[in-house]
Amino acid sequence: MDPLRLTIDHLGHRGDGVALADTGPIFVPGALPGETIDAAVDGDRARNVRILTPSPDRVAPVCRHFEACGGCAVQHLRKEAYDDWKRALVSKALSDRGIDHPVEPIVSGDPGTRRRAVFSAVRAGRHTVLGYHEKASHKLVDISECPVLDPAIVGALPDLKRLAGQLLPKKDEMRVTVLATTAGLDVTVEKADKSYDKTIPAVSRLAAEADWARLSVNGETLIEIRPPMLDMGGAALVPPPGGFTQATLEGEQALVAMVLKGAGTAKTVADLFSGSGTFALHLARQAKVHAVEGDAAALKAMDQAIRRAQGLKTLKTTRRDLFRSPLVREELAHFEAVVFDPPRTGAQAQAAQLAGSEVKTVIAVSCNPATLARDLRILIDGGYVLQTVTPVDQFVFSPHIEVVAVLTR
């Protein structure tokens, strides 16, 4: 098949260049808007791409693994254009739901600040491969560097690979989650070989020699040298092994500042999908807070942090599946402000209940602009007025973006 000559129109939401052809859009990995390319086209995907006219916004990738690794999508775009693209992802998501509202300037993230990494590991003959999947592939890239991660995690890669080599099952992939805390690295292994108990002395010794704070395998904490602490506004939180945390400390601080500002002088606040208390523990410095979360381990971690903290107002926690059983209008009547930060699927059922409530202020936090826009549409149709929409780039070089939206009655 002869190559086609294409001109890239824009950057898609996954970071691929998009050419507009008579047959529809063609997605071109690694291409940038304005570039002319030759490529073989298979359906709506281009391959064997040759760039004839490079964009003036093109820069050299900062990582040797970029061409293969699926962890990053856009390292080859000038910073200003990259920020514009991420901001536009939020604007388009709003527009797709008929929401015409300006998006605030992006709160930029920096490389080398990602404090949480989730690696995959697999056997390749006698060798251990630890890293991320290739783009659109089940094959792993064996990484030796990662410019987005905290240097402490990058420095631990050789030890993490040795750990994986002792715990890997014979065939399946294993997952290794690493969190950089104030006490050191918190390492959590899932899907390890079922007979891993034979390796407990060796891997515990490895963790001690590497000076990790904690090592957990298949739900069991094998060694805890120090509690892996996170500072939540003066409250010391020890997250559950492998539990959710905000991706970067700087991003978390920006999100917390916007949530606190949005809540303003509200004396009673509900924090829904609260996790281990990223917002609740800060909000409780200025208001009475009811934190609601479905994950028992996350709530247990928050309850322990509450007991250790001083100077908090009343902070109550409740375990509840908000997807199946959202807080209804009568329950919401107790709160002047509500914060919700759901998983990527959003909070459709909870948004519908809020739309029929009299809550004065709603602060929506999301890592998925599409489901956030859907939930905002529900709230706006219920009488809320959108005040601000602010993107926070915790996921540098990836197509993901965090967003905070503030609405009032």
Nearest alpha carbon to residue 89 among 402, 409, 298: 402
Is 341 within any annotated ligand binding site?
Answer: yes
Task: Sort 141 into a burial class: Cβ within 10 Å, 0-12 / 13-18 / 19+.
Answer: buried
Contact predicate 389/104, CB 8 Å: yes
Closest CA to 242 of 183, 181, 190: 190
| CA proximity to 181, closest of 301, 318, 307, 272 | 301
Rg (CA), the chain: 23
Q: Is 246 annotated as a binding residue?
A: yes
| Structure-derived torsion over alpha carbons of residues 41, 44, 50, 53, reported in degrees to the nearest 10 | 130
Is 395 annotated to bind a ligand? Reply is no
Q: Are 312 and 235 in contact (CB under 8 A)?
A: yes
Q: Look at the block and give the residue holding tokens 């197509």.
A: 399
Question: Is-contact 185 212, C-beta < 8 A?
Answer: yes
Integer Cα distance of 348 and 367 in angstroms = 15
Q: What pairing do the DSSP bridges indicate for beta strands 184-190 and 214-217?
A: parallel
What residue type is assigned to position 288 of the chain? K
293 assigned ligand-binding residue:
yes
Using a 10 angstrom Cβ sphere, with 0-12 exposed, 13-18 middle and 19 or more buried, the burial of residue 148 is buried
The answer to whether 146 is a known catalytic residue is no
CB 353 within 8 A of CB 329: yes
Residue reference for tokens 């939206």: 405
**Catalytic residue, candidates 63, 69, 72, 367:** 367
Output the known binding site for S-adenosyl-L-methionine: 246, 273, 293, 341
Output the known binding site: 246, 273, 293, 341
Active site positions, annotated: 367
